[in-house]
């Protein structure tokens, strides 16, 4: 049986597994950390040194953010429940749920606006997971290098996306911070979308920094040169410059936002948003 037939069979099996395991996968906890493994895989969220910037507006008694009445920043995440525990797990979980998203809401006493960054839609170039899988099929020496590509299909999302969030976090902001964020969103460049440096989660984290909160949103993956894909041993990279991959992801961001809400820094507004959109 040749390699192409094996790939077709195993992909069919994975689609069936996705159908059977969706209920289980959606209830699993985020697995964001993996110590260095014998094959060379590891995963580590990248932690910021300081939670707040120097110009943060904080309550002197509690050390939590304060703002002007009616002004709020919301950060919304749709986590795909990717499993970073090993190379095989991340490939399967991305195959089952290839997309996540992060976006924001700006609220004033008079208005509420929803913004985000979109891209990687596959019209001009294959989407990231499709391009990497195609290079695996073609036995490219560095199939993972496709994740270093920049997509020319980025744009500003205005309004609600066609997907519900898995978590919504709200924090108070001042009128001045509201204006600063609004101007940044309107003047920011959106035409290029880059997985490693300029994706939807990067955009949300940029806005949070303007509101004086440094969010944990990036992950560092150390990738093995080879791993098992579709029951076949496949090369992931040959050039060592592709051994380390760092990028922002809704998985890491959502975990951080949930922890902040538990510590009283911002609040969980998920139910409010889901009720609002019904």
Q: What is the pLDDT of residues 148-158, one digit of tens each?
A: 999 999 999 99
Question: Which one of 76-80, 94-98, 119-123, 227-231 scores highest in mean pLDDT?
Answer: 76-80
**Cβ(234)–Cβ(91) below 8 Å:** no
Measured between alpha carbons, how far is 75 from 273 in angstroms, rounded to an integer?
Answer: 11
Does 275 have pLDDT greater than 50?
A: yes
The pLDDT value given to residue 220: 97
Residue 30: is its pLDDT beyond 60?
A: no
Which residue in the block uniquely carries the two structure tokens 């150390």? 222
pLDDT on residue 230 = 66
Angle between helices 200-210 and 250-262 (to 10 degrees): 30
Q: How many residues does the chain have?
A: 278
> Tokens 């899988």 label which residue?
133
Report angle CA 274, 275, 277 to the nearest 5 degrees. Answer: 65
Query: Closest by alpha carbon to 77, among 3, 140, 139, 169?
Result: 169
More confident residue, 96 or 269: 269
Task: Read off the pTM.
Answer: 0.87
Contact 154, 191 (CB under 8 A): yes
> 249 CB contacts (<8 Å, ≥6 apart)?
82, 100, 201, 217, 218, 219
Name the band, by pLDDT with cuts 50, 70 and 90, for residue 98. Answer: confident
| Mean pLDDT, range 233-261, rounded to an integer | 96
- Confidence band of 231 (pLDDT split at 50, 70, 90): confident
- pLDDT tens sequence across 206-230: 999 999 999 999 999 999 999 886 6
Return the higher-pLDDT residue of 41 and 6: 41
Residue corresponding to tokens 């919301």: 74
């Amino acid at each position: 049986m040749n390699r192409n037939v094996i790939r077709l069979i195993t992909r069919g099996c994975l689609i069936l597994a996705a159908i059977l395991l969706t209920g289980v996968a959606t209830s699993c906890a985020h697995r964001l950390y993996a110590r260095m493994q014998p094959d060379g895989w590891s995963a580590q969220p990248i932690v910021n040194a300081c939670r707040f910037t120097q110009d943060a507006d904080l309550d002197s008694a509690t050390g939590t953010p304060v703002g002007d009445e009616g002004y709020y920043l919301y950060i919304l995440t749709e986590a795909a429940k990717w499993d970073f525990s090993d190379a095989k797990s991340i490939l399967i979980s991305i195959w089952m749920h290839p997309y996540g998203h992060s976006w924001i809401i700006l609220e004033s006493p008079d208005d509420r606006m929803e913004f985000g960054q979109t891209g990687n839609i596959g019209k001009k170039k294959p989407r990231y997971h499709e391009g990497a899988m195609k290079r695996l099929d073609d036995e490219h020496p560095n199939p993972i290098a496709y994740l270093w590509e920049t997509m020319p299909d980025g744009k500003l999302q205005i309004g609600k996306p066609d997907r519900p969030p898995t978590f919504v976090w709200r924090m108070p902001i001042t009128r001045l911070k509201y204006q600063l964020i609004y101007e940044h969103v309107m003047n920011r460049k959106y035409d290029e979308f880059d997985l490693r440096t300029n994706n939807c989660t990067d955009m949300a984290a940029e806005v949070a920094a303007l509101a004086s909160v440094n969010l944990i949103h990036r992950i560092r993956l150390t990738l093995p040169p080879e791993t098992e894909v579709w029951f076949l041993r496949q090369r992931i990279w040959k050039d060592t410059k592709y051994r380390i991959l760092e990028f922002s992801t809704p998985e890491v961001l959502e975990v951080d936002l949930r922890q902040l809400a538990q510590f009283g820094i911002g609040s969980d507004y998920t139910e409010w948003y889901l009720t609002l959109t019904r």
